[in-house]
């Protein structure tokens, strides 16, 4: 039986595939020759920001990357775990502030893959949960490029776990819905009639700046104003903050507390369980441990640090 350092080293030593294929002239970006060895695109979920929640598979691929396109929600600690020789390109988006439009990101993925590079598209959370991962892969496969998708821990799971709010519970919630507060092109998601079932937990992504409007819309649609409601900011990080209230008063509480983005909203009876667990939850008490990855540059360093944390 090998130790964990050897195990991680074995993972990171595996070669990632390059695919030989002929590029159609219509798909060629300028400066790319025909019949080059086409690279691959690896869509990687970086999780919610805590580097200890990154998967081993994600780490292996990140350390083989030649080009990394990363979002604004990818923490510096996680970005530092990528190959030191990789070209790192920021393509982040926060509300209406986009470093690069989505079409531009798609073009970069295709450009570098057709140039034979191992491309990592590093996204906060999970790429397939409000991460536009599907849109990017549609463009990738349209150009005949092979891809791999590696899941990450989505913010809803990370935030709820650290806060001690189970998203499902047999006595309180038999289903959970993940809902975006904004549709394509920034249009508000006002489908409140779909969110009135009290046996379901609802998690809103990207909704903090619409909190007042959304809570009023939900009450007007028929949701009980006494429904428990939580705002969780900076999911899973040492700076995570939590605000507990009801559908009827959470907007007023947030106006005073001013929790920062990024933040998640959780609505449902499971929120009340926070109070039952709080005095025993190391995360809620601020006593959970976090790895210091400032100097982590290899898988061996990562494992060494992880073994110290208990």
Active site residues: 71, 93
Asked if the bond preceding 262 is cis, omega within 30° of 0, the reply is: yes
128 in Cβ contact with 157 (< 8 Å): no
User: What whole-number distance in Å separates Cα of residue 234 and Cα of residue 298?
Assistant: 26
Buried b (16+ CB within 10 A) or exposed e, 265-282: bbbbbbbebbeeeeeebe
Identify the three-state secondary structure at position 209. Answer: helix
- Residue 156, exposed/middle/buried by CB under 10 A (0-12, 13-18, 19+)? buried
Find out whether 81 and 63 touch, Cβ atoms under 8 Å. Answer: yes
CB-based contact 172:270 (threshold 8 Å): yes
CA–CA separation, 122 and 120 (whole Å): 6
Q: Please classify residue 221 by burial: count the beta carbons closer than 10 Å to its beta carbon, then call 0-12 exposed, 13-18 middle and 19+ buried.
A: middle
H-only helix segments in the chain = 4-12, 56-62, 76-79, 102-114, 133-142, 155-163, 211-221, 250-257, 273-277, 299-308
């Amino acid at each position: 039986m090998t130790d964990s350092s050897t195990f991680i080293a074995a993972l990171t030593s595996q070669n990632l595939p390059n695919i030989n294929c002929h590029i159609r002239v219509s798909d060629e970006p300028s400066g790319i020759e025909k019949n080059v060895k086409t690279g691959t695109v690896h869509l990687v979920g970086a999780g919610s920001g805590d580097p200890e929640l990154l998967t081993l598979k994600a780490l292996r691929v990140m350390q083989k990357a030649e080009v990394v396109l990363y979002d604004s929600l990818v923490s510096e600690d996680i970005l530092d775990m990528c190959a030191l020789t990789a070209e790192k390109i920021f393509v982040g988006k926060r509300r209406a502030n986009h470093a690069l439009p989505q079409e531009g990101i798609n073009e970069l993925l295709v450009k570098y893959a057709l140039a034979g590079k191992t491309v990592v598209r590093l996204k906060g959370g999970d790429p397939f949960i409000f991460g536009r991962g599907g849109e990017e892969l549609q463009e990738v496969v349209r150009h005949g490029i092979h891809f791999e998708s590696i899941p990450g821990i989505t913010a809803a799971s990370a935030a709820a776990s650290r806060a001690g709010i189970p998203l499902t519970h047999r006595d309180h919630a038999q289903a959970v819905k993940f809902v975006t507060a904004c549709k394509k092109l920034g249009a508000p998601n006002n489908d409140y009639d779909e969110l009135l079932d009290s046996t379901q937990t609802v998690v809103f992504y990207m909704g903090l700046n619409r909190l007042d409007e959304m809570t009023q819309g939900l009450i007007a649609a028929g949701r009980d104003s006494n429904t428990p409601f939580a705002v969780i900011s900076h999911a899973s990080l040492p700076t995570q903050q939590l605000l507990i209230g009801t559908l009827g008063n959470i907007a007023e509480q947030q106006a005073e507390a001013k929790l920062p983005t990024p933040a998640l909203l959780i609505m449902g009876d499971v929120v009340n369980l926070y109070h039952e667990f709080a005095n025993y939850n190391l995360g809620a008490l601020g006593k959970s441990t976090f790895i210091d990855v400032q100097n982590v540059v290899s898988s061996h360093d990562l494992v060494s640090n992880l073994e110290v944390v208990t």
